[in-house]
Chain A
Amino acid sequence: MDTISIIEGRVIDPATNLDLVTDLHIADGKIIAIGNAPADFTAAKEINAKNKIVCPGFIDLSVRLREPGAEYKATIRSETEAAAKNGITTVCCPPDTDPVIDSPAIAELLQQRSAKAGMAKVLPLAALTKGLKGEHLAEMGILKQAGCIAVSDVRPIVNTNVLRHALEYAATCDLTVFLHPIDPWLGNSGCAHEGVVSTRLGLTAIPEQTETIAVARDLLLVENSGVRAHFCRLSSGKSVEMIQQAQDKGLAVTADVSIHHLLLSDIDIHLYDSQCKVCPPLRSSLDKQALGDGLKNNIINAICSDHQPHEAEAKLNPFSMAAAGISGLDTLLPQCLRFAEQMGMDLITILSYLTEKPAAILGIDAGTLQVGKVADICIFDPNKNWTLNQDTMYSMGKNSPFFGQELKAKVYFTIINGKVVYEYL
């Protein structure tokens, strides 16, 4: 039997508003006590967490594992391990694998291989339409039974009729829809936010309306269908306003933002830095600020890594020809803490966007340290600085705009289902 006592850590659980230096005890994969151990309890392993934070393991709403289909970029094993080493205990995998997650076989493959790896848990997101082609509905009911946690479009659904039906059908299946608001036409050949930077660098532009038009359309169809909708990776301040209006109206709408959109803007592209090429694009510094405010005001409900590992060659190209995406698992926690510092946000609040709030979006019983809950736990030192480089980065993809930067916060232990899966030595 695995029994663990975590001694003298600063235990922070946003879900119960707990922030206290105390002990935490684990048995049978669950948290059995906080504070004093039960009388008959003996810990097989004792972790000294003095001067460290003990919090729920992080839940990341978007992690590309690249398997199946692009194993030269990363694999289920490599990325679930990298996640675990960064305190991330649950990851959602978008359906744009190859083949697409539109059949139970692929959903099961992801779960079986990740279970075998024994690191971070993988929750597959199913395709909303077959092959993500926007033409026919995917077998959402069957995919739900096969373990898919939600359904997602990923690529724009051009045919509004198909989208409307897909949302209605998802509502029927009681599935949350993860929507990526991108207009299929506007800026579809672009690679940078439309603004002074794109004009100066001569980069084909992606206007703000690429996102806002899609948000508007999607919100109208969400309202019509009554589906629970989660808007993925907002990039513009105007979208935040629109989401707020929908929430004020009482629609079941949530949203997330990637950590890089909270820290970077189009100015960071500087001299065509292809590491700053992402989709949606980094927008203006005003947008960045509005996203931060949206998070603070709880209009945006979660921060994700939007992890997209690439092989080095994918970024070794002129900006417009380089692949989009940032390898984000390794920087999620440190950069969230940096963002919190910039915003004057306390630790328990910033951690809520990585724990209980994404858990609520997914409707899973996780992201909290309550007695009786599954012991998915991260123990980190908030004051341990380290430098992001080839050796300290655990993901197979080394594509990061933060390469070479000194980061704060180092994960020392990760516990998943009551087992220590990672210990920093």
Chain B
Amino acid sequence: MNSIQLNNQGRLKHFLDIEGLNRKLLINILDIADSFLNIDTKAVKKVPLLRGKTVVNLFFEPSTRTRTTFELAGKRLSADVLNFNINNSSTSKGEALIDMLRNLEAMHCDMFVIRHNAGGAATFMAQHVAPHISIINAGDGQHAHPTQAMLDMFTIRQNKGDFAPLSVAIVGDILHSRVARSNIHALNILGVSEVRVVAPKTLIPTGIETLGVKVFNDLKKGLDGVDVIIMLRLQRERMKSALLPSAYEYFQSYGLTESALKVAHPDAIVMHPGPINRGVEIDSSVADGPRSVILQQVNNGVAIRMAVMAISLGAVSEQDSN
């Protein structure tokens, strides 16, 4: 699946989806990200790897943290970065995505970072873009958010070292979550011992087990003994579409509180892709507590995105992690 991510030599060309990538490549991305991690502590917070390259951020959905970390990542690699925040309603009525793509191509850019509410939008761009341009998926509908998954893997490795013995629970709106899907693929490719998803039946998509997860409808059973907990954001719209009765009831059953956390492994870490809804999916005391690595995730986001951008444009070789 998604072999269009790789070029003829099997090198990463577009970064669209974790599914279909191999363990070696994922580890390589983590290693290269490691080498970028301390750039922001230096006096000159830049490396010249993408000097002369132009990166375009195309955000069809609102985003603060993903867009700014991509922008920062591009700038720290010395690329020129353009930001387009496109109101989706105006494009659906007017310019087609393919026309926008052609127009941007004419500006001689080297990379498009795209976030779009349609699953497969990044794949679509990669299928139709001029051959010299790389596409990075910054989130497509409910399909994939591969850089988020990689920064999550990076954070897990920082805290846990080895993936093999880990039991990981992903809790919340699995149905609508691209983060969940990409994390499930990444965790399985990196060979963790177990991936669980925890949610009410209304938020579990059909056949999710085939992606290599165990399904739990009960939070305490789902968290029992796990080493890593990945909480997902619950969108308010879910109450409108009759998937849940209320945010309050959701918090009662699936909110991560100190008490719920007790059943997990004593060293378990708590993650969240942000932005967090305090008192909806997670209690403030947990989000700000000693087990939380949420801010560490944000910090890692820049390094991971630098790694993915540099590899996709061939600025670092995939083996060279130093």
Using CB atoms and an 8 Å cutoff, list the residues of chain A in contact with chain B.
194-196, 198-205, 207, 271-272, 313, 316-321
In the complex, the 5 A-B pairs of residues with the closest C-beta atoms, listed nearest first: A202-B143, A202-B142, A272-B120, A318-B118, A196-B207
B281 interface residue, CB < 8 Å from A?
no
B248 interface residue, CB < 8 Å from A?
no
Q: Are A319 and B120 in contact (CB under 8 A)?
A: yes
Q: Are A201 and B120 in contact (CB under 8 A)?
A: yes
B168-192 toward A: CB 8 Å interface, digit per residue (1/0)?
0000000000100100000000000
A314 to chain B, nearest CB (A): 10
Give Cα distance in the complex from A199 to B98, angstroms: 25
Closest B residue, CB atoms, query A319: B120
Give Cα distance in the complex from A60 to B2, angstroms: 37
Residues of B within 8 A of A318 (CB): 97, 116, 118-121, 123-124, 140
Give Cα distance in the complex from A195 to B210, angstroms: 10
Residues of A within 8 A of B121 (CB): 318
Q: Are A202 and B124 in contact (CB under 8 A)?
A: no
Knowing A272-B123, A313-B98, A317-B97, the reply to whether A199 touches B141 (Cβ < 8 A) is no
For chain B, the count of residues having a C-beta within 8 Å of the partner chain is 30
Q: Are A320 and B120 in contact (CB under 8 A)?
A: yes
B144 interface residue, CB < 8 Å from A?
yes
Q: Are A196 and B120 in contact (CB under 8 A)?
A: no
Residues of A within 8 A of B178 (CB): 202
B140-178 toward A: CB 8 Å interface, digit per residue (1/0)?
111110000000000000000000000000000000001
Closest B residue, CB atoms, query A193: B206
Q: Are A313 and B96 in contact (CB under 8 A)?
A: yes
Residues of A within 8 A of B19 (CB): 200
Give Cα distance in the complex from A81 to B124, angstroms: 34
Q: Are A199 and B205 in contact (CB under 8 A)?
A: yes
B89 to chain A, nearest CB (A): 13
Give Cα distance in the complex from A316 to B118, angstroms: 13
A53 to chain B, nearest CB (A): 40
A396 to chain B, nearest CB (A): 20
Closest A residue, CB atoms, query B2: A271
Give Cα distance in the complex from A207 to B178, angstroms: 20
B92 interface residue, CB < 8 Å from A?
yes
Q: Are B1 and A317 in contact (CB under 8 A)?
A: no
Give Cα distance in the complex from A252 to B128, angstroms: 49
B39 interface residue, CB < 8 Å from A?
no
Knowing A196-B207, A319-B118, A319-B119, the reply to whether A204 touches B142 (Cβ < 8 A) is yes
Give Cα distance in the complex from A199 to B206, angstroms: 6
* Total CB contacts across the A-B interface at under 8 A: 80
B22 to chain A, nearest CB (A): 18
B49 interface residue, CB < 8 Å from A?
no
B211 interface residue, CB < 8 Å from A?
yes
Q: Are A321 and B118 in contact (CB under 8 A)?
A: yes
B10-29 residues at the A interface, CB under 8 angstroms? 19
Within the complex, which residue of A205, A271, A313 is in contact with B123, where a contact is CB–CB below 8 Å? A271
Closest B residue, CB atoms, query A208: B206
Closest A residue, CB atoms, query B182: A202
Give Cα distance in the complex from A32 to B116, angstroms: 64
Residues of B within 8 A of A207 (CB): 206
Closest A residue, CB atoms, query B3: A271
Q: Are B206 and A202 in contact (CB under 8 A)?
A: no
Residues of B within 8 A of A321 (CB): 92, 97, 118
Knowing A316-B96, A316-B98, the reply to whether A199 touches B207 (Cβ < 8 A) is yes
Q: Are A201 and B143 in contact (CB under 8 A)?
A: yes
B208 interface residue, CB < 8 Å from A?
yes
B69-121 residues at the A interface, CB under 8 angstroms? 92, 96-98, 116, 118-121
A199 to chain B, nearest CB (A): 4
Q: Are A196 and B141 in contact (CB under 8 A)?
A: no
Q: Are B206 and A200 in contact (CB under 8 A)?
A: no
A401 to chain B, nearest CB (A): 15
Give Cα distance in the complex from A195 to B206, angstroms: 5
Give Cα distance in the complex from A225 to B231, angstroms: 53
Q: Are B118 and A205 in contact (CB under 8 A)?
A: no
Knowing A272-B120, A316-B98, A318-B120, the reply to whether A202 touches B208 (Cβ < 8 A) is no
Residues of A within 8 A of B142 (CB): 202-204
Give Cα distance in the complex from A221 to B205, angstroms: 33
Residues of A within 8 A of B92 (CB): 321
Knowing A205-B205, A271-B123, A272-B123, the reply to whether A200 touches B211 (Cβ < 8 A) is yes
Give Cα distance in the complex from A321 to B88, angstroms: 12
**What are 25 A-B contacts defined by CB distance under 8 Å?**
A195-B206, A196-B206, A196-B210, A199-B210, A199-B211, A201-B119, A201-B120, A202-B142, A202-B143, A202-B144, A202-B178, A203-B120, A203-B141, A203-B143, A205-B206, A271-B123, A271-B127, A272-B119, A272-B120, A316-B96, A317-B97, A318-B119, A318-B120, A320-B120, A321-B118
Residues of B within 8 A of A319 (CB): 118-120, 124
Closest B residue, CB atoms, query A269: B120
Give Cα distance in the complex from A19 to B98, angstroms: 52
Within the complex, which residue of A195, A205, A271, A317 is in contact with B4, where a contact is CB–CB below 8 Å? A271
B207 to chain A, nearest CB (A): 4
Q: Are B119 and A320 in contact (CB under 8 A)?
A: yes
A272 to chain B, nearest CB (A): 4
Give Cα distance in the complex from A313 to B208, angstroms: 33
B239-260 toward A: CB 8 Å interface, digit per residue (1/0)?
0000000000000000000000
Q: Are A202 and B1 in contact (CB under 8 A)?
A: no
Residues of B within 8 A of A313 (CB): 96, 98
Residues of A within 8 A of B140 (CB): 202, 318
Residues of B within 8 A of A316 (CB): 96, 98, 128
Q: Are B181 and A202 in contact (CB under 8 A)?
A: yes
Of A194, A195, A207, A321, the most chain B CB neighbours within 10 A belong to: A321
Give Cα distance in the complex from A201 to B210, angstroms: 13
B23 to chain A, nearest CB (A): 19
Closest A residue, CB atoms, query B205: A199
Residues of A within 8 A of B144 (CB): 202
B203 to chain A, nearest CB (A): 12
Give Cα distance in the complex from A201 to B98, angstroms: 20
Knowing A271-B2, A271-B4, A317-B124, the reply to whether A202 touches B98 (Cβ < 8 A) is no
Within the complex, which residue of A198, A272, A317 is in contact with B205, where a contact is CB–CB below 8 Å? A198
Within the complex, which residue of B98, B118, B127 is in contact with A320, where a contact is CB–CB below 8 Å? B118
Give Cα distance in the complex from A399 to B76, angstroms: 44
Residues of A within 8 A of B98 (CB): 313, 316-317
Give Cα distance in the complex from A282 to B98, angstroms: 25
Residues of B within 8 A of A271 (CB): 1-2, 4, 120, 123, 127
Residues of A within 8 A of B97 (CB): 317-318, 321
Closest A residue, CB atoms, query B92: A321
B45-64 toward A: CB 8 Å interface, digit per residue (1/0)?
00000000000000000000
